[in-house]
Chain A
Amino acid sequence: MAHRKKNRNVAIVGIGQTRYSSHREDVNQPEMIQEAVRLALKDAGISIADVDCVVHGNMELFEMIHQPDLWHMLGTGAYGKNAFRITTGGTTGTTIVAAGDNLVASGLYDVAMIIGFEKLQEGHTTGGITNMADPLWFRNLMTGALTGTTASATIKEFGEERAKRAAMMMRVIMDKHAGLNPNAHRSFGLDFGQIPDLMENSPKLVGELRLIHMCSQSDGACVLILADEEKAKKISRKPVWIRDHITVHREESFNVFGDEPVEMTHHFAARHLFERNRITKPLEYFDVFEMYDPSAWWGLDWLREFFLLEGDEHLKLVENKEIMIGGKIPLNPSGGVIASNPIGATALVRVAEAALQIRGDAGAHQIPKPVKHALASGFGGTIWTVLFILEKELTGWGERK
C-alpha cells in the first residue's frame, strides 16, 4: 500500500480519564465529560483557550440524544471553536484520534481535543447494539454483540481443554491487570487457581462464550489533546508521537460462517500498517499492546491476527504469561475492554493507555521496561479494525536491532 509523507508530525500532549464505573448518577452527561476535559487540560498544562478544535465521538442511539455534541458543548468547552463529531460504532474512540491526527497534520488546526464518552446506564446497551442490525431481517434473529463462533473455532483447532484453559488464562491475566488500574471499572480479584472452576461454572452466554469472558458495560469519559510538532514540543516534556494509523472495515453481512478461510480485518490492517512502516517483526518491535478485546476468546484469537503469528504461538504467549505486565509483550496493562467498556470512549482509552505507558505515567500498571513503541487497536461495527502506532521519539522508527 503506497503511503505519502505525513504533512507534519502530531503528538499526544494531554490525557484525561474519569474512573470507569457502572453508574455515574451524580453527574449528567456534559458534567461527566467536563471531568475528563479538565483532567486532560491539567495534564497538558494548557487552558481551553489554547484548543482550536474539538472532536467528539458518540453514537446517538445509546443514550438517545440526537446530535449529542450540541448539548455536550456545555462540558466539552467547544464554544466558539471548530467542532466535529465523527462516529463509527465501537471503533469511534480510535476513529476520533485518527480524525484528530488528520485534522492537526493537515495544518488546519494546531491543537485538537479528542473526546470520547459513554453513559451506558442511561440507555439500553444491548438494545442499542441489536438495533444495529438490518431492520428488515437481521434484527429479528440477532444475538446482540455475542457470538461463540471464535470459541468453537479455537476449540476445533487446539482441542477443548487447551483452548478453554488459554481463554480463561487470558481472562485472569486481564483481571490482574485491571486490579492495578485505579480507573478500571471491574476487577474481581481472580486467581489462576480458579481457572478450572471458572471454566466449568461460569454461566454460558452463547456456545462456549461465558459470562466471565465478556466485557463490561461502563460509564466514563476519556479525553486526549493532540498538537502539531512545534506546539507539542513547547507544551509537553513527554509528547507521544502518532506515527501512523489504518482503518479497515468489512461489509455488513459477515460472510465468514462457512468453510472458506477469510482474512480478518485485524490481520489485513496489521499486515498493511506494518508493511508500509517497514516493521517486519511486530512481536519484537512493540513494547506494549493495548488491544480492544471485547471478550477473552477474541483477545486470545486476535493476538495471532495482530502480530501475524502462526500455529499456536499466540496460545503459548498466554500460557507462558508473556502477555503479563512483566512479560515479553504486555497486553492491556490497563485491564483492557473486559475490565472497562464505555463504548464511545473505549477505543480512545486504548490509545490513552498506550500513551501513558510510553510516558512512564501509568502508575501501578506501568510496564517495568522502557516503552518506546506502542500498538493500540479499536474494534467495532461489523468487524471493523483501527490500528495505531505510537512512538516515544521522532527518530529511530523502524526495526529494533
Chain B
Amino acid sequence: MSAYFGVKVEDIFATMPERFRPEGAEGISASYGYNIHGEGKWKLTVKDGKMKIGKADDLSGCATVTTTDGETFVGINLGKVDAMKAFSSGKFKVEGDFGALAKTAKMFRKYIPPQKEMSTREYILDMFATLEKRFQPKKAEGLDVTVGYDIGGEDGGKWTAVIRKGECLLKEGILGTPTVTLKVQSAADWVALMLGKIDALSLLSAGKAAITGEAPLALKLGEIFAPYVPPGEKAKEPEQELIVLRKTISVNQRFATGPVMGKFLNGLKEKKILANQCPQCKRLQLPPREVCAVCRVEATQWVEVGPKGHLAVNEIVYYASPDPLTGETRETPYGSIHVLLDGCKGNETFTHLLRPDQIFKVKETWQEEKGSRLRPVWAERRTGSIHDIKFFELDE
C-alpha cells in the first residue's frame, strides 16, 4: 500500500463507517464500486440508512464504478487535487449513473488525516530549536543573563540560553554557572510543561523539578519567550464567520394549455399525434404552435401524423439535468430523440425519449438511409400529457 500526501487509500475506505452521515443516505439503496489502480477494488453498499464497505473482486451490479489511481483518489479526498480537472481530463472516470455518485458526497464527512503525535524526543528538539525564534527582545530590555536548562532522562539534554543586548543565543551544554538553572528530572515532564498540560508549581512541589540561581528570573521566562506552538497548529486568528442562507423557493403554478396545446394533449390521450399546419408554407409543427414562425400567420389546420416514424437524431445523454419542478434526475444514460413521424418531412421532427435498453441499438438517418423505424409505446393511463407516450421503441 502506498501513501499519497501521507495518507493511504485504505485509510479513506477504512474510515468511511465513522464518517458516515445517515441523513445524507436517506431513501438511497445502491452500491458503488471503486477501482483504484494498483491498490484494489472496494464496494460501498448503502441501504436503509446504513452502509457497508469492503474489498470486492466483483463490482457488477454497482450503480457506478469509479476508476482512478491512488494519488488522484486520495488527493481529491484531501482537497489537494482539483476534482473537476481530474474528472474533465479523464483521470477520474465514472461509469454508470453519474447522478447517483454525486449523491455520495452528502453521505460522508470529509476525511481529515489524524494529527501525527510527536515523540517526547521530537518535542524536546523542536522546543529548543524554536527557542531563539520565540525570544521577545522587548521583554528582555537591559537583561544580561544566562539561563541553564538541565533536562533529564534519555530524551533530555542540556542547553544554555545567553541573553544579552536584546539578543538570545542558544548553546549546547551548561556554560559556566548560569544566572538561573532549570532542572527537570524527566523530559516528558518538560514537554508537558511547555504544552501547558501541567504547571511549574506542581512539578516543583513534587520534587520533579528544581530552580537554582536567581529564582525571580525564572518567573520572568514565561514573558521573555513566546509560548511554544507545536508544528502544524496555526495561531488561531478570529475569522469573520460568513453566513450563508439556504432556502428552497416554491410557488405553485397553474399553467394554461390554451386551445392549441390543449388539442394536442387531448389527442395524446386518444393515442393520436396531432400536428398543426401553416396554411401558407404547409409546414407541420410538432408540438403545434399558434403561429407559423416563418410566415407569421396563424396555423389553423390540423393533421394527424405517425404514430410510427424514422429516427432522425439520437442524443445519448450521460449527464442528466434535474427537473426544476421535482429536483429529480433521469437515470443515465438515456436517449433523447428526434423522430420524423410518418406524414412529416424535412425538419418536422418530434422530440421524445427512446426506450432505455435500445439506445445503443438504433441508427440515425445519416447512418442508415432512413433511420431506425420506431413506434410509440403508450402509457396505460393517459392524462393528456407528453408522458402519455412513455417512449419510442424499435418497430420490430
Chain A contact residues, CB within 8 Å of chain B: 25-26, 64, 124, 126-131, 135-144, 146-149, 152, 156, 186, 188, 190, 194, 197-198, 200-207, 210-212, 251-253, 255-260, 262
Contact = CB atoms under 8 A, between A and B. Distances in A.
Contacts of B91: 201
Given A141-B353, A148-B315, A126 B321 contact: yes
Interface of B: 84-85, 87-91, 93-94, 98, 242, 244, 249, 253, 255, 257, 261, 265, 285-287, 289, 293, 312-313, 315-325, 327, 336, 338, 340, 345-349, 351-353, 364-366, 385-387
Contact of B317 (A146, A156, A186): A146
B90 A25 contact: no
Contacts of B317: 143, 146, 205-206
B265 A130 contact: no
Nearest to B265: A136
28 contacts: A127-B324, A131-B324, A135-B255, A136-B257, A136-B261, A139-B323, A141-B352, A141-B353, A143-B320, A146-B317, A146-B319, A152-B313, A190-B89, A201-B90, A201-B91, A202-B90, A203-B98, A203-B319, A205-B319, A211-B88, A211-B319, A251-B293, A256-B347, A257-B347, A258-B338, A258-B345, A259-B346, A260-B347
Contact of A255 (B94, B261, B322, B347): B347
B89 A201 contact: yes
B11 to A, nearest CB: 27
Contacts of A137: 261, 287, 385-386
Contacts of B325: 135, 139
Contacts of B85: 188
Nearest to A210: B88
Contacts of A139: 323-325
Contacts of A140: 323, 386-387
B315 A147 contact: yes
A262 B293 CA distance: 14
A315 to B, nearest CB: 19
Contacts of A186: 84
B312 A257 contact: yes
B336 A258 contact: no
Given A64-B249, A188-B88, A203-B90, 5 more contacts: A25-B244, A136-B255, A152-B366, A211-B88, A255-B348
Contact of A253 (B285, B315, B387): B285
A26 B242 contact: yes
Nearest to B255: A135
B319 A206 contact: yes
A276 to B, nearest CB: 22
A203 B94 contact: yes
A136 B74 CA distance: 45
Contacts of B387: 140
A287 to B, nearest CB: 31
The interface centre, meaning the residue of B249, B318, B348 with most chain A CB atoms within 10 A of its CB, is: B318
A143 B366 contact: no
Given A25-B242, A141-B351, A156 B366 contact: yes
Contact of A143 (B94, B313, B336): B336
Nearest to B82: A188
B386 A206 contact: no
A260 B347 CA distance: 6
A257 B313 CA distance: 7
The interface residues of chain A, by DSSP majority, are classed as loop
B291 to A, nearest CB: 9
A291 B233 CA distance: 48
Contacts of B244: 25
A211 B316 contact: no
Contacts of B318: 203-206
Contacts of A255: 285, 347-349
Contact of A262 (B347, B349, B364): B347
Contacts of A204: 316, 318-319
Contacts of B253: 135
Nearest to B364: A152
B277 to A, nearest CB: 14
6 tightest Cβ-Cβ pairs between the two chains A and B: A201-B90, A144-B321, A258-B347, A251-B293, A257-B338, A137-B386
B322 A130 contact: yes
A135 B325 CA distance: 9
A137 B289 CA distance: 12
Contacts of B323: 130, 139-140
Given A255-B347, A257-B347, A188 B319 contact: no
A44 to B, nearest CB: 32
Contact of A126 (B89, B312, B322, B348): B322
A25 B289 CA distance: 43
A272 B10 CA distance: 63
Nearest to B384: A136
Nearest to B92: A203
A271 B89 CA distance: 37
B8 to A, nearest CB: 25
A155 to B, nearest CB: 10
Given A138-B351, A207-B316, A143 B289 contact: no
Contacts of B93: 201, 203
A259 B312 contact: yes
Nearest to A251: B293
Given A127-B321, A136-B261, A197 B316 contact: no
B90 A257 contact: no
Contacts of A203: 87-88, 90, 93-94, 98, 318-319
A133 B325 CA distance: 12
Contacts of B336: 141, 143, 206
A298 to B, nearest CB: 15
Contacts of A253: 285-287, 289
Given A127-B322, A137-B287, A198 B90 contact: yes
A141 B388 CA distance: 13
Nearest to B338: A257
B319 A136 contact: no
A160 B84 CA distance: 26
Contacts of B352: 141
A11 B182 CA distance: 78
Nearest to B333: A204
Contact of A197 (B89, B340, B366, B386): B89
Contacts of A126: 321-322
A212 B253 CA distance: 37
A202 B319 CA distance: 13
A31 to B, nearest CB: 12
Contacts of A251: 289, 293
A32 to B, nearest CB: 14
